[in-house]
């Protein structure tokens, strides 16, 4: 079968699977909520109806956040791997998540209402992601070895963790609890009224990524060759950092740190499609990333009666062994 035909069939399969996974996600809670309840909750909401409340205020926002988190982090990871031409690059490994966490920790520890509001937390996460993205970008000018750059990212993560620990020791019990709950990672911290704002920023980042598909395809051959072909490497690099910071900061602000999605999904996509065409890679990263986090959250919902598992734990349990597999495969 021709490669392009295989790609189309696989993409169609992913597109068709997404509504099914969304449906399973919506019905996976401990309380049965019918399809009609979802329709009525959206168009004729009755606050006294328990099923309406569960559908509108809990499950629908949770479903959207799973989609946004999976797709957004996967696209951010893909962009970072293309920029640094390294399968182990990603917003988590390179310390961009750590930047968001550090600035969010600062907002929680101050106790100032303006900073601890939704806008304050989102702003802090975005600023932290952007600043640490710029730091990594600056190091990339001087450090040519991708392994060295990854080590710098890991050291930045350790450094920020140390600062967060120091702030935690100086915080009161209320601030410490609020930050700890956020840091565990959750898809349940969003109200339905916040979804349009989150969706707007999410789409801004995703759509911008599609506008740089041609430069992304050229970057695969290396920085020097890309420059020879007329690509404005510096501008493309800045755009990638901005998109990554926007998507990573947005997801981290509302869901907490979610590990390995941005690292594992792009590598899985490349294994499945065996392509360097970023139109295919972006679309499939969005679909597989969204499906992946939705499925992880389905398991969490099924186990809710027995234990409350953070989303970060599930993605790490699945993502970490997969990354070890990627590393061993590269060394083989």
For 270-300, write each residue's pLDDT tens digit. Answer: 988 888 899 999 999 999 999 999 999 999 9
For 214-229, write each residue's pLDDT tens digit. Answer: 999 998 887 777 788 8
The token pair at 148 is 């060295």
What's the length of the chain?
A: 332
What's the average model confidence in pLDDT over 183-212?
A: 91
Q: How far apart are alpha carbons 267 and 67 in whole angstroms?
A: 19
pLDDT at 1 over 60: no
| % of the chain surpassing 90 pLDDT | 28
Q: How far apart are alpha carbons 52 and 6 in whole angstroms?
A: 42
pLDDT at 48 over 90: no
Q: Which is the CATH superfamily of the domain at 67-331?
A: ABC transporter involved in vitamin B12 uptake, BtuC (1.10.3470.10)
What's the average model confidence in pLDDT over 103-119?
A: 71
DSSP 93: T
User: pLDDT grade, residue 332 (50/70/90)?
Assistant: low
Whether residue 107 contacts residue 124, with contact meaning beta carbons closer than 8 Å, is answered with yes
For 71-92, write each residue's pLDDT tens digit. Answer: 999 999 999 999 888 888 888 7
Q: What is the mean pLDDT of the chain?
A: 85
Q: Which of 38-47, 104-113, 182-191 has the lowest mean pLDDT?
A: 104-113
Torsion on CA atoms 209, 215, 218, 222, rounded to nearest 10: -90
Q: How far apart are alpha carbons 203 and 180 in whole angstroms?
A: 29
The token pair at 38 is 């979802």
pLDDT at 156: 86
Best mean pLDDT range from 116-125, 135-144, 159-168, 282-291:
282-291
Best mean pLDDT range from 138-142, 239-243, 269-273, 287-291:
287-291
pLDDT at 203: 96
Q: SS3 string of 25-84?
A: HHCCCCCCCCHHHHHHHHHCCCCCCHHHHHHHHHHHHHHHHHHHHHHHHHHHHHHHHHHH
Residue among 270, 309, 237 nearest 79 (CA): 237
What's the average model confidence in pLDDT over 205-210?
A: 96
Q: How far apart are alpha carbons 71 and 91 in whole angstroms?
A: 13
pLDDT at 74: 95
For 142-163, write each residue's pLDDT tens digit. Answer: 776 666 777 888 888 888 889 8
Q: How far apart are alpha carbons 191 and 61 in whole angstroms?
A: 6
């Amino acid at each position: 079968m021709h490669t392009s035909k295989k790609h189309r069939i696989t993409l169609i399969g992913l597109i068709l699977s997404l509504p099914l996974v969304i449906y399973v996600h919506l019905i996976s809670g401990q309380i049965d909520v019918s399809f009609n309840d979802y329709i009525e909750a959206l168009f004729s909401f009755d606050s006294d109806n328990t099923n309406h409340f569960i559908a509108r205020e809990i499950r629908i926002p949770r479903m959207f956040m799973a989609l946004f988190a999976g797709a957004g982090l996967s696209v951010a990871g893909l962009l970072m791997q293309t920029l640094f031409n390294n399968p182990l690059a990603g917003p988590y490994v390179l310390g961009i998540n750590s930047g968001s966490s550090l600035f969010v920790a600062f907002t929680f520890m101050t106790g100032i209402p303006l900073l601890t509001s939704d806008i304050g937390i989102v702003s802090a996460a975005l600023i932290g992601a952007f600043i640490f993205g710029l730091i990594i970008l600056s190091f990339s000018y001087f450090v040519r070895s991708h392994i060295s750059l990854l080590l710098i990212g890991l050291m930045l993560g350790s450094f920020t963790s140390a600062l967060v620990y120091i702030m935690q020791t100086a915080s009161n019990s209320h601030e410490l609890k609020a930050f700890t709950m956020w840091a565990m990672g959750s898809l349940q911290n969003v109200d339905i009224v916040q979804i349009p704002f989150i969706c707007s920023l999410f789409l801004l980042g995703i759509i911008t990524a599609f506008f740089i598909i041609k430069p992304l395809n050229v970057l695969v051959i290396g920085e020097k060759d890309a420059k020879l072909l007329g690509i404005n490497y510096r501008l493309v690099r800045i755009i990638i950092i901005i998109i990554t910071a926007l998507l990573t900061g947005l997801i981290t602000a509302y869901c907490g740190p979610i590990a390995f999605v941005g690292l594992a999904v792009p590598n899985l996509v490349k294994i499945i499609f065996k392509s360097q065409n970023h139109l295919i890679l972006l679309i499939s990263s969005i679909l597989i990333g969204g499906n992946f986090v939705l499925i992880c959250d389905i398991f969490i919902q099924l186990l809710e009666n027995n234990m409350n598992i953070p989303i970060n734990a599930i993605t790490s349990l699945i993502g970490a062994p997969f990354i070890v597999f990627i590393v061993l495969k590269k060394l083989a």
